[in-house]
């Protein structure tokens, strides 16, 4: 399919360069080293959908999608129902993100998996795309998310914007357009339209509300609609990324954007530098900046043979931007009143790690949030802002021992661990489906050189709680 081209823009717009690359990407072009993570990202997202399926947020998303009409385009995992591709991606995106357990780009804190994978699955099923095309579409979506996010870094968050909601529609448009087989002109139009769907306020931080989870599903939905409109010839602005009224000029007005060169950050090294591979998996259900502290706490606890009672308190040295999200306001963080508040609480989850030696989805439940021992320790876990930190999810954990003395350990994100991803999937899936279904999904996602997407789509209609 083709879309109307945008003529008259000076130079070659960055959106068109990205669209050219996206339209031309073939699975054979993707280096072999980049192949295994694709199956793991699909598996991880499926596990997150299953883990989130019993939440009220997921139920609301399913009910809304169900009221918007019947379609046979794409299935919904566990429910067994079918709906339009954009609505299926919406449901899966909300559900995958609603435990805050999805992968993350360190530099921008964009969560690509809960946007890109639901998009590629829904559009791939509706189009009857083959495995290689769906896999290539996932690669394209991750690459676009990485590059658009890296321009802003964490400045969207500083401005009170949820970066996944801003960048997500573009990533979804790339995945949808590539899966649909659109040409580069149409994908460029889809990018232009996606810019008008970009947004998402960080207002949820104040009260633990659910708009954060909406952003991932809405981005997936919006990217698909953008691609579908472009396929019908609906034009999008060519300068959405680097024109006069571009995304960054509008949302980061007054800031020096990409001093190294906006076009270079967005398009430099396409096809040779695979920025999408930089997304880090999560192993705990929390804001990603918390995860390295939990790793360090659990490691120290195991190495020193510590129990919760051996820890009197401690300090987390943390980047100022991260402290605003996971350490402040202090009173709300040491006694999180909701699941969303717990997800974004460094002292609370650190206390769970030190007392239990693990952090699972159970830590988000009301019973854990009312545990006196956890709350007591959380009240003695403080933070210190350090402006020198913040290049990655870096920091320092200092623990005060009850019998005197201190333990100190630098923290940083660890490289991907396939065994941990697999263990995480099994634990998440096990909360919703029986072992045979878990094994079938696992085999379809990572049992071959490519995910067996046709098998996954069939399983969407057969697995049950």
Domain ranges across the chain: 14-278, 288-411
- What was the pLDDT predicted at 4? 30
CA 304 to CA 364: how far, in whole Å? 27
* Helices 113-127 and 453-460, packing angle to 10 deg: 90
- Distances in whole angstroms, Cα of residue 71 to Cα of each of 85, 90, 221, 355, 463: 8, 14, 15, 49, 20
CA 386 to CA 60: how far, in whole Å? 40
- What was the pLDDT predicted at 259? 67
Torsion sign (Cα): 60, 66, 69, 74: positive
User: Could you identify the residue written with the tokens 């996954």?
Assistant: 456
Tokens of 72: 């046979």
The three-state (H, E, C) secondary structure of the chain, written as one string = CCCCCCCCCCCCCHHHHHHHHHHHCCHHHCCHHHHHHHHHHHHHHHHHHHHHCCCHHHHHHHHHHHHCCCCCCEECCCCCCEECHHHHHHHHHHHHHCCCCCCECCCCCCCCHHHHHHHHHHHHHHHCCCHHHHHHHHHHHHHHHHHHHHHHCCHHHHCCECHHHHHHHHHHHHHHHHHHCCCHHHHHHHHHHHHHHCCCECCHHHHCCCHHHHHHHHHHHHHHHHHHHHHCCCCCCCCCCCCCCCHHHHHCCCCCCCCCCHHHHHHCCCCCCCHHHHCECCCCCCCHHHHHHHHHHHHHHHHHCCCHHHEEEEEEEECHHHHHHHCCCHHHHHCCCCHHHHHCCHHHHHHHHHHHCCCCHHHHCHHHHCCHHHHHHHCCEEEEECCCCCCCCCEEEEEEECCCCEEEEEECCCCCCHHHHHHHHHHHHHCCCCHHHHHHHHHHHHCCCCCCHHHHHHHHCCCCC
CA 63 to CA 70: how far, in whole Å? 12
Q: Are 49 and 95 in contact (CB under 8 A)?
A: yes
CA 130 to CA 383: how far, in whole Å? 50
Q: What is the CATH number of domain 288-411?
A: 3.30.1330.120
| Burial of 69 from C-beta contacts in 10 A (0-12 / 13-18 / 19+) | exposed
Mark the ranges of the chain whose per-residue pLDDT is less than 50. Answer: 1-10
The architecture of the domain spanning 14-278 is: Orthogonal Bundle (1.10)
CA 430 to CA 147: how far, in whole Å? 35
pTM: 0.92
Tokens of 341: 């508040």
- Distances in whole angstroms, Cα of residue 31 to Cα of each of 36, 37, 129, 444: 10, 11, 21, 22
């Amino acid at each position: 399919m083709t879309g109307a081209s945008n003529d008259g823009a000076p130079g070659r717009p960055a959106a068109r360069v990205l669209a050219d690359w996206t339209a031309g990407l073939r699975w054979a072009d993707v280096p072999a080293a980049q192949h295994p993570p694709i199956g793991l990202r699909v598996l991880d997202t499926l596990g997150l959908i299953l883990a989130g399926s019993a939440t009220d947020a997921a139920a609301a998303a399913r009910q809304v999608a169900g009221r918007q009409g019947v379609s046979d385009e794409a299935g919904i995992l566990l429910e067994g129902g079918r709906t339009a591709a954009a609505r299926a991606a919406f449901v899966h995106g909300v559900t995958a993100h609603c435990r805050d357990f999805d992968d993350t780009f360190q530099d921008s804190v964009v969560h690509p998996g809960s946007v890109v994978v639901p998009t590629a699955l829904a559009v791939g099923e509706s189009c009857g795309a083959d495995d290689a095309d769906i896999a290539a579409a996932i690669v394209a979506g991750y690459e676009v998310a990485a590059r658009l996010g890296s321009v802003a870094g964490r400045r969207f968050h500083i401005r009170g914007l949820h970066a996944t909601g801003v960048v997500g529609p573009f990533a979804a448009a790339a995945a949808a357009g590539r899966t649909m087989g659109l040409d580069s002109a149409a994908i460029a139009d889809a990018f232009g339209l996606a810019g008008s769907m970009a947004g998402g306020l960080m207002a949820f931080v104040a009260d633990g509300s659910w708009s954060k989870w909406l952003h991932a599903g809405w981005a997936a939905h919006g990217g698909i609609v953008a691609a579908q409109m472009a396929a019908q010839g609906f034009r999008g602005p060519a300068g959405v990324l680097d024109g006069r009224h571009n995304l960054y000029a509008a949302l980061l007005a007054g800031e020096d954007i990409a001093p190294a060169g906006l076009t270079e950050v967005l398009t430099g090294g396409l096809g040779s530098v695979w920025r999408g591979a930089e997304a880090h998996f999560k192993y705990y259900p929390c804001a990603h900046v918390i995860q390295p502290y939990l790793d360090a706490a659990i490691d120290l606890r195991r190495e020193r043979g510590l129990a919760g009672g051996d820890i009197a308190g401690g300090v987390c040295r943390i980047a100022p931007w991260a402290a605003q999200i996971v350490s402040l306001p202090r009173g709300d963080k040491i006694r999180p009143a909701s699941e969303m508040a717990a997800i974004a609480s460094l002292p609370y989850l650190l206390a769970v790690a030190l007392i239990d030696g693990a952090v699972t989805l159970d830590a988000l439940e009301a019973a854990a949030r009312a545990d006196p021992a956890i709350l007591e320790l959380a009240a003695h876990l403080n933070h210190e802002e350090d402006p020198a930190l913040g290049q990655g999810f870096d920091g320092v954990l200092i623990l005060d021992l009850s019998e005197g003395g201190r333990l100190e350990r630098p923290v940083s994100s660890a490289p991907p661990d396939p065994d941990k991803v697999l263990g995480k999937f099994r634990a998440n899936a096990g909360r919703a489906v029986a072992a045979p279904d878990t094994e079938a999904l696992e085999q379809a996602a990572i049992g071959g050189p490519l995910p067996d997407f046709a098998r996954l789509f069939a399983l969407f209609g057969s697995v049950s709680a």
